[in-house]
Structures are given as structure tokens and as C-alpha cells.
Amino acid sequence: MVELAEVWPARLAVWLKGATFLLRGFRDFFEDYPVGEIAFRALRGREAVYPFGLLSSYGSAVLGANVHRRGYPRFKTLDDVVLMPPAFTPRRLKKAAELLREPTFMDVETEVEVGGFKSSLPVVVGSMGSTHIASKTALDIAKAAAKAGVVFGIGENVATVRGYSKRLTRGHPSFKERLLTYLSNTNKKGGVIIQQSVEDAYDELWNRVYSDKDVEPYIEEGLIGFEIKIGQGAKPGLGGIIKIPREQVERLRAKYHFDESELGKKYVARYSVPGTFTAEILAGTIRFMKTAYPRARIWIKLGPFRDALDVIRIAEEEGADAVVIDGKEGGTGMAPTIAMKDLGYPTLVALKYIRAARAEGRKISLLVGGRLYDGGHVVKALALGASAVYMARPFLIAALAKGSRGVENYVDSLKAEVQMLTSALGKYDARGLGPEDVAAADPDVARMLGIPYLYS
């Protein structure tokens, strides 16, 4: 009789060989297949649509920042464009004659006019809404942006969710706190642009601001603008989505949409509608605003839409002050993962539409946003026709790092980089940057933007 101890090693070897074969086949079957993503959906259900894992992380982290590491968007970026300094710099010679000395990069002028405002730098703090993290950093960003003399945006749903003049949620500044923190620290440069969602319109937000006695002196100074939101890069064509505590739902149910199946949970998804536009509706809206709010600037915030050039044409013809195109890289906390993956186009393509508008002779201020965060991005965008760059996430991160001082330091670093690069290009005013200053490291990018291919 054969002892078990004698046959067990052989049987084990056969079993392991078979298991290895099965595992290898299993691996080959699922190679390059998103097993983890599907399992996450199976575990989380509807919550898996959004780019965060544990629910508690929503609103307390800067989300959407890691979409590139997840393998998408699978697009070319502004990093595929390079700056091309010349050897011959006649403008440097002219600047030297003006200064009676050899100029340095610190002599570069960075002040621009953007959307009817004077700004110390061609950078705008993008409109941020009512999320937890945007609320917690709002006053630090507002104060620093005002001192720096750059335009500051207040996003949709702030007044409705956080309160217009009184705080409706503990620890979150009201709309008016954000507004007056900026305005009371301004150095007469910059300005505030205020978004109004469909839900904000129920409360007549723009009317309240325009008739507010505390805001009146600043309206008279030309420091207030209203921003029509037709979309954002993270979820073009979709409305705003955030999670709110269950106790806030009853107060907001009359204005917002909620998923009935979630109402018993600790946190509930609150949906804003995206608003409906046609060419006629947009033109009519601008005409109405010019009549109703004649002292306010009129801005339009676009997502990465295929008819962006048509919007720019209407905006200029009707007398709006600025159009912002937000590339799809601008992912935010509650942008559905599938939206960041498949909806819209990247910032680089937004610049194609800006280039096309400039080729038609359009003079309106045109801004671009979406994963832009350093002086190189600013200079390249200006060289390709943008009037300024629209940034949000970098200011959140700077405020989280060191409060208002962190934001001031961040703006200082941007200014130094813009000055250095502009000087290296032989120019001493950021407004003089042009397509001759750039080339593309990718032939498709070169063709799309109408600039030289670096290796040709």
C-alpha cells in the first residue's frame, strides 16, 4: 500500500501545474481589461460613476486631478507646444534705449485688459462653486487674488446652498462674504465675475447683487461682472452635481433635483440642471443683460463644445466682454468619470477655436482653462491668441498649502515665470506674444494650430 506521504508531492505538483495553466489563461483572458473598474462598480453601484472611492473623501480632496494617470484623457496637451526664442531681439534694443540700460526680465509688463477689467497678470481665478473644499478656501483665495490684482470668479450655487448674506451651513462663508472679502481688499485692479445657475436665477441672484447697496460703489467702479455658464470642461452638457448632507436636502428640494433612491442616505447627490441654449437664446440673454445690468461686464463660460466658434461670434456681435473655453482636463469632484473620459476635447483644441476666432479678426477677450498651472502654460496660451488663462485647481492647492499667503506666493511665481519667458522671447510686454513665438513637437498639433512643426 502506497503511503499518502509518498504520492502527495506528485499530486501537488500536478495540481500546481494545472492551476498555473488556469491562472495563466485567466490572466490572458483579462489582459488589458478593466477588471478593477468593473469590480468597483459591482461594489459601489451608482457611486462608482464618480471619480472617488470612499464617500467621505468627497469635498475634502482636490478630485479629478489624477485623470491623466488613469490613462485618459488620451489626448495631446499644451506641453506638446514649445517656446522658440530668437537670437535677434530688436525689441530688447528698443527697451534698452527706453530704459537707458540693458533690460532684465523684471522689466516685462504683465498687466492686461481682460473682459473689461484691468488685471495685473493674464490669469483669472476660475469660478468655483459650493463644494466643501471651494467654500473652505474661498476667503483666502479672494483676499489674495484682490491684493494681487487678478480677476476672481464666484461659481454657481454658492448663494443658494451657502446663503447670500448669512451662512446657511456651519463653517462655510456666504456668497456675500466671498464677494466683499475680494472687493474690500482690491487695489482697483481686477474684478469679480459671478455665475448664476438656473437654481440661482430662481432667487434672482444677479438682481440682488446689482441692487445691493453694499456692492453699489464697486459696480460704479466697474469691478463687477456676470458670467453666463454654458458648461465646463469636466462635464460638458451636464449640470452641476455635488453630495450634500441629508439634513440640507429638505431646504433645497424645491429648487434642485435629487435621486429619490438616495434620500435615506447620510449624503445625497444634488443635481443642477445644465440650462438650455440656442443661438437665439444666447443672443437674447446678452441683450437683456446689457439692458438690465449696463454697468456689469458680461462673460460667457463654455465647456469644450464643438460649436465654440459660433458662441464666440454671437458673444462679440452682441457686445459681451469675454468668452472662456474650458478644456476637458478641468475635472472636478463630482464630474462623472465617463464624462471626463469621453465628453469634449482638451485644452489644446480649445486654443484651435481661439486661433480661428482671431483669424476672423475677433477682438473679444478669449480665455482658456483646463490643467494649466505654470508660467509656460500662460505664455503659450497668449502666443496662440488667448487673452488670459483661467485657473481654479491651482489656487485651491495653494490655499490649502499656506492660506492666503500661499495664493499670493503662487501668483508671484506665475508672474516671475511669465516675465522670464517673455523676456527670453525678446519681448517686454505680455500682450506682444504671438504665434511666431511657438512651435509644435507633434505634427498633428502643428497642423491644427497653424504653427511650425519643430522637426521640419
Average pLDDT of each block of 10 consecutive residues along the chain (456 residues)? Answer: 49 60 55 64 64 46 48 77 98 96 97 98 94 90 97 94 92 96 95 93 94 98 96 84 74 72 74 88 98 98 96 98 90 71 91 98 97 94 98 90 93 95 98 98 97 96
Separation CA 326–CA 305 (nearest Å): 9
Q: Do 18 and 134 belong to one domain? A: no
Please check whether residue 58 lies inside any domain of the structure: no
Instruction: In whole angstroms, give the CA distance from residue 290 to residue 438.
Output: 37
Whether residues 216 and 310 fall in one domain: yes
Both 225 and 313 in one domain: the answer is yes
The verdict on residue 270 lying in a domain is no
Q: Which domain holds residue 35?
A: 4-52
Q: Are residues 198 and 308 in the same domain?
A: yes
Give the distance, in angstroms, between the CA of residue 293 and the centroid of all CA atoms in the same chain: 26
pTM of this structure: 0.85
pLDDT of residue 448: 97
- What b/e readout covers 89-128, taking b as 16+ CB neighbours within 10 angstroms? bebbeebeeeeeeebeeebbebebebbbbbbbbbbbbbbb
For residue 65, what is its C-alpha cell? 486631478
Q: How many domains does the chain have?
A: 2
